[in-house]
Amino acid sequence: MKALFKFVALVAFLVIGGGLLVYAASRSLDFVQTTLPAKDQALGYFALLATSGGMIGWLLVFLYRADGIIQRGTALLMVLIDFLGEAALFTMDTLYRSGENGLVGQMTQNEVRIVILGMSALIAINIFATIVFELGKMDVIKEIAEGAARDLVTFKALARIEKDSETVAEEMMEQIVNQWRGNFRSAFGSADKLGIGQYETKKVSPANIHSHG
């Protein structure tokens, strides 16, 4: 008997949850499609990915794919955000249609505009959340942390090299200058090597010797 009650409870849970979710999604879809031209009505179904569809999707991601606190936190937060978006959107659609039927006051253009902007913001948040989720992988976080540590060590090493360069230069300067002096003397340490003091002696012919005699 206990097993039977558990099964009935499960069926009741699925019927209540699934039925209400379908109702909420249909009202949200109705409002979204009022903002689209007749030829693009099918696009309204994609907007459900930021409301009821997104809520279910992020819940499955949280349960079966999220790894680490960033991914789990992002997925859980988006479940709550998409739930609030779904609740707000089907409520606005109910008010909108009730106003058209004269049951309540009609929504003003400004109110409709605010709802549309809110829906657009919800879609943008879902897109941004997918980026954050992927960046929240533990492997990615590990690579970022290791890269930051490696860069920090490199920057400190370069700063130390720059700081010690003057000291090293002073220590090496005497040796470099002495070596330069030795090389210079070896290359240019005589008048002959400098190309000075070298003269050609003119040959004197015998006729010139007799004439001077």
Alpha helices in the chain (DSSP H): 2-34, 44-47, 52-64, 68-100, 109-135, 138-188, 191-194, 206-212
Q: Which residue has the tokens 């930051």?
A: 148
The residue among 32, 43, 51 whose CA lies nearest residue 96 is 32
Residues 6+ apart with CB under 8 A from 126: 49, 50, 54, 78, 82
Residues 105 and 101: their CA atoms lie apart, in Å, by: 9
Count Cβ atoms within 10 A of the Cβ of residue 129 and give its class: 0-12 exposed, 13-18 middle, 19 or more buried: buried
Residues 88 and 121: their CA atoms lie apart, in Å, by: 13
95 and 151 inside one domain: no
20 and 111 inside one domain: yes
User: Which pLDDT does position 165 carry in this prediction?
Assistant: 84
Residues 6+ apart with CB under 8 A from 82: 50, 51, 52, 54, 55, 58, 122, 126
109 and 150 inside one domain: no
User: Which pLDDT does position 197 carry in this prediction?
Assistant: 63
Cβ proximity of 92 and 115 under 8 Å: yes
User: Which pLDDT does position 200 carry in this prediction?
Assistant: 60
User: Which pLDDT does position 125 carry in this prediction?
Assistant: 94
Supply the range of the domain harboring residue 162: 138-184
102 and 61 inside one domain: yes
Q: Is residue 166 part of a domain?
A: yes
Q: Is residue 203 part of a domain?
A: no
Q: What is the pLDDT along the chain (213 residues), one digit of tens a residue?
A: 788 888 888 899 889 988 988 888 888 888 888 888 888 888 888 888 888 899 999 999 999 999 889 999 999 999 999 999 999 888 888 888 888 888 877 878 888 888 888 888 999 999 999 999 998 888 888 888 888 899 989 998 888 888 888 888 888 888 888 888 888 888 877 777 777 766 665 665 666 555 555
How far from the centroid of its chain's Cα atoms is residue 32's Cα?
31
User: Which pLDDT does position 75 carry in this prediction?
Assistant: 94
Q: Is residue 207 part of a domain?
A: no
